[in-house]
C-alpha cells in the first residue's frame, strides 16, 4: 500500500513537472514553399527575425517540389491536413480552404497594396472582403523575341501596339529570311492561350462566375488553328500533345530555333544563365488583338489554411512577411515582378540581374496596368483550371481534325459546366 | 548429454516458447469454438489483410462511383445513384464518340481496344522469338539476356523521356536519318506514327520481363524430346510448332494474362511521351481516369471511380475467359 502511494505521488510529480515544460515548447507553424527560384532560403532568413520577436514560436519552412504543391497539397487540404501556411499558385481553386486573417493583419495596408489581387483569393466571391493571404509575386505572360534574327533578316521589330497578326507576319518574314525553324511558339497552357483569347475579346467568365464561350474565343481559336495550318506555329506543342498536359519548348527559343516565343516572366533567369550574350533578345509589350492589348497575370500568394491550430499566429506571420522591408528583400533577391502597388509604382532594384533582364522586368511590369478586367476575373475564378484544361484538350483535338471549331466551343462550355455541376453536387 | 545436443535442446525450448505461451489461449478458443472452427482463427490475420487492402478499397471505389461532389471523405459525399454511370453512357451513337456526353471516355476506350491487342500480340511474339534465340547455345548469351532485361529495370518516366529525346523534331533519330541523307519526320506529331511509337516504346520497356518468363518455360522442356524429334527427321519449324509451342502453352497463358493486364494499365510512359496526343490519338483508359480524377480541378472522383470500375469489370471478365480457356487446355 505504501509502495503504491509512493508510485502515485511520483507519477503525479512527473506530470506536474512536465506541464510548464509543455507550455515552453510553444507553437509551431509549418509553411510549405515550392522549390522554384530560391525556394525557402529567403523565407528562412526572414522567419528567424520573426522567431526572435516571438519567443517560443518555431517557424518550420518546408521546401517541396512545385508539383507537390499543385497535386498533393489540394488532397491534403481536402483531408483537413497539411501545413498552416503555403505559397500557392491556384489562387481561386483552393479558396475553400483559406483562413480569414483580416483580424490579425493591417487590413487597410493589405487593401492598399494588393486591392485587386486579393480578390483572386476569394474564389470569385465578389461580395467578400475577407483577407486570406498576401500575393507574393506577380507573373506576367509575354513574348520573348530574338532581336538578332530580326537584324539578320533586315525586318523592323514591330512597335508597341502591334497586333498579333502583325507579329505573325513579321516573324514569318524573319524565319523565311534566316532559315529559322518556326516564326512563333506558345507554351501548351490554357493560361497562355487565355492571353490571346482575351485580347481577341473572349470573356471566359462573367461577373457572376459563369463560364462564357463567345465570339471572341471563337475568333482566337480560329486564328490559332490558322497559324498551325500555315506553319507559323509548329504542331509540336499544341498539336502533338493531348489531354490537359502542360508542355513547353522554351529550349527552342534558347537555341534560336524560333523567332518569337510566348511564355512568361518566370523564364527570365533561364535567359540570363543560358543565353547571356549569345544573341540579342527582348521581351516585347503585349501583342494586341481586336479587343485589347492584354496578357494574363498570374503569380503566387502566401495563404493560411482554416485547419490551423494557430490562426492568430498565422495572420501575424503573413503580416510580418508583408512589411515593406521584407517584401523589398524578397522581390529583389528572387528577381520577380512585385505584386504590391507601392513596389510597382516605385520600382525594385535587382542588383544581381543583368541589364537585359532588368529591361525585360520593366516591360513585364508595364503590362500590369494594361491588363483587361476579364484577365483579372479569369485569374481569380474558382473554375479557371477546369476552363484551362478544356481549352488545351479541345484545341488540340481541333488541330488534329477530331473536332470542328464549333464542336470544340460546345465541348468547352459542356466540360466547364459538368465540372461546376460535379463540384456543386452536395445534396 | 553432449554439449552439442544441450545447445540443440536449448534452441528447441526457445523455439517452442511462443507456441507454449499461446497454448492456453488456443486451448480455450478451441473449447469455445470447437475444432471445426479453429482453421478460421488461423486464417484471420491473412483475411484481415485481404479485406483491408483489397476488398475495402473496392467497396470504397464502388461508393465513390455512386456519390457526387468534389469532397474527399466518403461521409461528406452525397449519394447520387447511377448518375456517374449515366453520364459515361450518355451517347446517341456508341460508335461515334462525338455524340457522347463524355466523348473522351469513349475515345480512350476505343484507343485501348486497339492498343491492347496490337501491343500484346507484338510483345508476346517478339518476347517468344527473343526467348527462343536466347535459349540456344550462342556466344555472349548471358550478356544478351542482361541487355534485353535492362529496360524492365528503368523507371517508366525515364523510358518515356529517353524516347522523347530520340523521337522529337530535333531528336537523335532524325539526326541519324538526316546524317544518312534520309527524309526526317516529326514522329510524335502524326496520330499514326505516334500510335506506332507508343506500341514500340511500351514493348521495348516490358518485353524483357516476359522474355525471362518464356525462357524459363523453354528451359523446362526436356532435351530428349527434341533429340527424339531430330532422330525422326523433324524440321526445326515442325519441332517448334509440335513440341515447343504445346509444351510452352501453360507459360504462354500466364504471360498472355499478365501482358493484357499490364497493357490495359498503361499510363506513365504514354502520359510523358505523348500526353495522350496528338489530339486524343494515344489517350488510353487509365489516362482518362487520371485526368478526370486527379488532373481536373475540381477533381471528379466519382466519375473517375465509375470509369475505373468499368475497366476493372472488363478485366475481370477477360481474366475469367482466359482461366476457362486455360483449364480447357490443361484438361486436354
Neighbours of A106 (CB within 10 A): 13
**A425 and B78: CB-CB below 8 Å?**
yes
Q: What percent of chain A has pLDDT over 90?
A: 63
Nearest to A114 by CA among A138, A84, A140: A138
**Do B26 and B113 reside in the same domain of the chain?**
no
**Do A254 and A189 reside in the same domain of the chain?**
yes
Pairing of strands A57-64, A27-34: parallel
- Is the CB of B99 inside 8 Å of chain A's CB atoms? no
- Mutation target for A interface from B68, B279, B289, B307: give the one with most A CBs within 10 A: B279
Distance CA B282, CA B115 (A): 8
**B279 and A411: CB-CB below 8 Å?**
no
Distance CA A226, CA A224 (A): 5
**Do B147 and B292 reside in the same domain of the chain?**
yes
**Do B184 and B99 reside in the same domain of the chain?**
yes
Range of the domain at A310: 27-138+298-362
Q: What is the CATH number of the domain that holds A333?
A: 3.40.190.10
Q: Determine the pLDDT at residue B280.
A: 93
**B70 and A422: CB-CB below 8 Å?**
yes
**Do A263 and A397 reside in the same domain of the chain?**
yes
**Do B19 and B159 reside in the same domain of the chain?**
no
**Do A157 and A34 reside in the same domain of the chain?**
no
Summarize pLDDT for B137-173 with one digit per residue, the tens. 888 888 888 889 999 999 999 999 999 999 998 899 9
**Do B152 and B298 reside in the same domain of the chain?**
yes
**B69 and A244: CB-CB below 8 Å?**
no
What's the whole-number average pLDDT of chain B?
90
Examine the pLDDT at B223 and tell me if it is beyond 80.
Answer: yes
Transcribe A247-284 into DSSP letters: B--HHHHHTT-EEEEEEEGGGHHHIIIIITTSS-EEEE
In a domain? residue B64: no
In a domain? residue A1: no
Summarize pLDDT for A208-245 with one digit per residue, the tens. 889 999 999 999 999 999 999 999 999 999 999 988 88
- From the list A93, A245, A400, which residue is nearest B279 (CB)? A400
Nearest to A391 by CA among A372, A364, A419: A419
In a domain? residue B57: no
- From the list A79, A243, A418, which residue is nearest B291 (CB)? A243
In a domain? residue B76: no
Neighbours of B54 (CB within 10 A): 9
Q: Say whether A24 sits in a helix, a strand or coil.
A: helix
Q: How far is CA A296 from CA A373, A393, B35, in A?
A: 10, 19, 74
Q: Is the CB of residue B108 less than 8 Å from the CB of residue B280?
A: yes
**Do B114 and B5 reside in the same domain of the chain?**
no
**Do B16 and B100 reside in the same domain of the chain?**
no
Examine the pLDDT at A3 and tell me if it is beyond 70.
Answer: no
Examine the pLDDT at A13 and tell me if it is beyond 70.
Answer: no
Q: What are the residue ranges of helices labelled H in A31-101?
A: 41-53, 66-67, 73-78
In a domain? residue B155: yes
- Mutation target for B interface from A75, A190, A422, A424: give the one with most B CBs within 10 A: A422
How many domains does the structure of chain B reveal?
A: 2
In a domain? residue A75: yes
- Measured between CA atoms, how close is A58 to chain B, in angstroms? 31
Domain boundary among the residues A309, A343, A362 is at A362
Summarize pLDDT for A100-153 with one digit per residue, the tens. 999 999 999 999 999 878 988 987 777 888 999 999 988 999 999 999 999 999
Q: Is the CB of residue B90 less than 8 Å from the CB of residue B101?
A: yes
In a domain? residue B221: yes
**Do A217 and A126 reside in the same domain of the chain?**
no
**Do A187 and A278 reside in the same domain of the chain?**
yes
Examine the pLDDT at A9 and tell me if it is beyond 60.
Answer: no
In a domain? residue B319: yes
Within a 13 Å sphere around the CA of B32, how many CA atoms are in the beta-carbon half? Answer: 7
Q: Is the CB of residue A275 less than 8 Å from the CB of residue A151?
A: no
Q: Is the CB of residue A35 less than 8 Å from the CB of residue A63?
A: yes
In a domain? residue A378: yes
**Do A270 and A397 reside in the same domain of the chain?**
yes
**B278 and A242: CB-CB below 8 Å?**
yes
Q: Is the CB of residue A271 less than 8 Å from the CB of residue A144?
A: yes
In a domain? residue A145: yes
Give the mean model confidence (pLDDT) for residues A418-423: 84
Summarize pLDDT for B182-205 with one digit per residue, the tens. 999 999 999 999 999 999 999 999
Range of the domain at B271: 94-331
How many domains does the structure of chain A reveal?
A: 2
Q: Determine the pLDDT at residue B331.
A: 43
**Do A55 and A126 reside in the same domain of the chain?**
yes
Domain boundary among the residues A362, A382, A402 is at A362
Transcribe A192-252 into DSSP letters: HHHHHHHHTT--EE-TTS-EE--HHHHHHHHHHHHHHHTTSS-STTTTT-BTT--B--HHH
In a domain? residue A9: no
In a domain? residue B45: no
Reported ipTM: the value is: 0.80
Give the mean model confidence (pLDDT) for residues A304-326: 95
Domain boundary among the residues A362, A380, A410 is at A362
Summarize pLDDT for B255-288 with one digit per residue, the tens. 999 999 999 999 999 999 999 989 999 999 999 9
Amino acid at each position: 500500500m505504501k509502495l503504491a502511494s509512493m508510485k502515485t505521488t511520483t507519477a503525479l510529480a512527473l506530470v506536474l513537472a512536465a506541464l510548464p515544460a509543455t507550455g515552453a515548447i510553444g507553437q509551431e507553424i509549418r509553411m510549405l514553399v515550392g522549390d522554384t527560384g530560391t525556394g525557402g532560403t529567403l523565407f528562412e532568413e526572414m522567419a528567424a527575425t520573426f522567431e526572435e520577436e516571438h519567443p517560443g514560436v518555431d517557424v518550420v519552412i518546408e521546401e517541396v517540389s512545385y508539383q507537390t504543391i499543385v497535386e498533393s497539397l489540394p488532397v491534403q487540404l481536402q483531408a483537413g491536413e497539411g501545413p498552416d501556411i503555403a505559397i500557392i499558385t491556384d489562387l481561386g481553386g483552393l479558396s475553400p480552404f483559406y483562413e480569414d486573417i483580416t483580424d490579425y493583419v493591417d487590413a487597410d495596408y493589405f487593401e492598399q497594396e494588393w486591392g485587386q489581387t486579393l480578390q483572386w483569393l476569394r474564389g470569385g466571391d465578389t461580395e467578400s472582403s475577407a483577407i486570406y493571404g498576401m500575393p507574393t509575386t506577380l507573373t506576367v505572360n509575354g513574348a520573348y523575341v530574338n532581336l538578332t534574327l530580326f537584324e539578320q533578316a533586315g525586318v523592323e521589330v514591330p512597335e508597341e501596339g502591334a497586333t498579333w497578326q502583325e507579329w505573325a507576319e513579321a516573324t514569318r518574314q524573319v524565319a523565311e529570311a534566316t532559315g529559322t525553324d518556326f516564326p512563333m511558339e506558345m507554351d501548351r497552357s490554357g493560361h497562355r492561350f487565355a492571353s490571346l483569347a482575351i485580347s481577341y475579346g473572349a470573356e471566359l467568365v462573367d461577373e457572376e462566375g459563369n463560364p462564357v464561350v463567345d465570339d471572341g474565343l471563337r475568333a482566337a481559336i480560329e486564328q490559332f488553328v490558322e497559324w498551325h495550318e500555315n506553319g507559323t506555329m509548329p504542331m509540336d506543342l499544341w498539336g502533338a500533345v493531348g489531354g490537359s498536359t502542360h508542355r513547353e519548348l522554351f529550349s527552342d527559343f534558347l537555341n534560336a530555333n524560333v523567332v518569337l516565343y510566348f511564355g512568361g516572366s518566370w523564364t527570365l533567369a533561364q535567359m540570363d544563365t543560358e543565353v547571356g550574350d549569345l544573341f540579342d533578345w527582348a521581351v516585347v509589350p503585349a501583342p494586341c488583338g481586336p479587343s485589347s492589348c492584354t496578357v494574363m497575370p498570374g503569380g503566387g500568394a502566401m495563404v493560411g489554411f482554416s485547419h490551423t491550430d494557430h490562426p492568430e499566429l498565422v495572420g501575424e506571420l503573413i503580416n510580418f512577411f508583408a512589411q515593406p522591408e521584407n517584401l523589398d528583400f524578397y522581390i529583389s533577391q528572387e528577381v520577380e515582378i512585385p505584386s504590391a502597388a507601392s513596389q510597382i509604382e516605385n520600382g525594385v532594384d535587382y542588383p544581381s540581374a543583368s541589364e537585359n533582364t532588368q529591361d525585360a522586368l520593366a516591360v513585364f511590369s508595364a503590362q500590369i496596368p494594361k491588363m483587361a478586367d476579364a484577365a483579372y476575373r479569369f485569374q481569380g475564378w474558382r473554375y479557371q483550371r477546369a476552363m484551362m484544361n478544356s481549352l488545351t484538350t479541345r484545341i488540340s483535338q481541333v488541330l488534329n481534325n477530331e473536332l470542328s471549331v464549333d464542336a470544340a466551343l460546345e465541348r468547352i462550355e459542356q466540360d466547364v459546366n459538368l465540372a461546376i455541376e460535379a463540384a456543386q453536387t452536395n445534396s | 548429454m553432449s554439449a552439442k545436443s544441450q545447445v540443440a535442446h536449448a534452441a528447441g525450448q526457445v523455439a517452442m516458447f511462443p507456441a507454449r505461451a499461446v497454448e492456453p489461449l488456443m486451448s480455450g478458443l478451441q473449447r469455445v469454438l470447437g475444432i471445426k472452427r479453429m482453421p478460421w482463427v488461423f486464417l484471420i490475420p491473412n483475411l484481415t489483410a485481404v479485406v483491408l487492402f483489397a476488398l475495402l478499397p473496392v467497396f470504397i471505389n464502388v461508393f465513390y462511383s455512386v456519390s457526387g461532389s468534389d469532397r474527399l471523405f466518403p461521409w461528406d459525399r452525397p449519394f447520387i445513384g447511377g448518375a456517374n454511370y449515366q453520364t459515361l453512357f450518355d451517347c446517341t451513337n456508341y460508335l461515334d464518340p462525338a455524340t457522347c456526353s463524355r466523348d473522351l471516355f469513349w475515345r480512350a476506350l476505343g484507343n485501348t481496344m486497339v492498343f491492347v491487342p496490337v501491343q500484346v500480340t507484338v510483345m508476346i511474339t517478339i518476347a517468344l522469338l527473343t526467348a527462343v534465340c536466347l535459349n540456344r547455345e550462342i556466344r555472349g548469351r548471358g550478356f544478351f539476356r542482361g541487355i534485353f532485361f535492362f529496360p524492365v529495370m528503368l523507371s517508366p518516366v525515364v523510358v518515356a523521356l529517353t524516347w522523347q529525346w530520340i523521337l522529337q523534331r530535333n531528336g537523335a533519330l532524325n539526326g541519324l536519318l538526316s546524317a544518312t541523307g534520309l527524309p526526317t519526320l516529326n514522329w510524335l506529331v502524326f496520330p499514326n506514327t505516334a500510335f506506332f511509337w507508343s506500341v514500340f516504346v511500351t514493348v521495348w520497356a516490358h518485353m524483357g520481363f516476359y522474355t525471362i518468363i518464356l525462357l524459363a518455360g523453354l528451359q523446362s522442356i526436356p532435351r530428349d524430346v527434341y533429340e527424339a524429334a531430330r532422330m525422326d527427321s523433324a524440321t526445326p519449324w515442325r519441332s517448334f510448332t509440335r513440341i515447343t509451342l504445346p509444351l510452352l502453352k501453360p507459360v504462354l497463358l500466364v504471360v498472355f494474362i499478365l501482358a493484357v493486364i499490364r497493357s490495359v494499365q498503361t499510363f506513365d510512359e504514354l502520359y510523358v511521351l505523348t500526353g495522350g496526343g496528338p489530339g486524343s490519338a494515344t489517350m488510353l483508359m487509365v489516362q482518362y481516369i487520371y485526368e478526370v480524377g486527379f488532373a481536373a480541378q475540381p477533381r471528379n472522383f466519382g466519375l473517375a471511380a465509375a470509369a475505373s470500375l468499368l475497366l476493372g469489370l472488363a478485366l475481370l471478365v477477360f481474366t475469367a475467359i482466359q482461366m476457362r480457356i486455360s483449364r480447357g487446355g490443361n484438361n486436354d
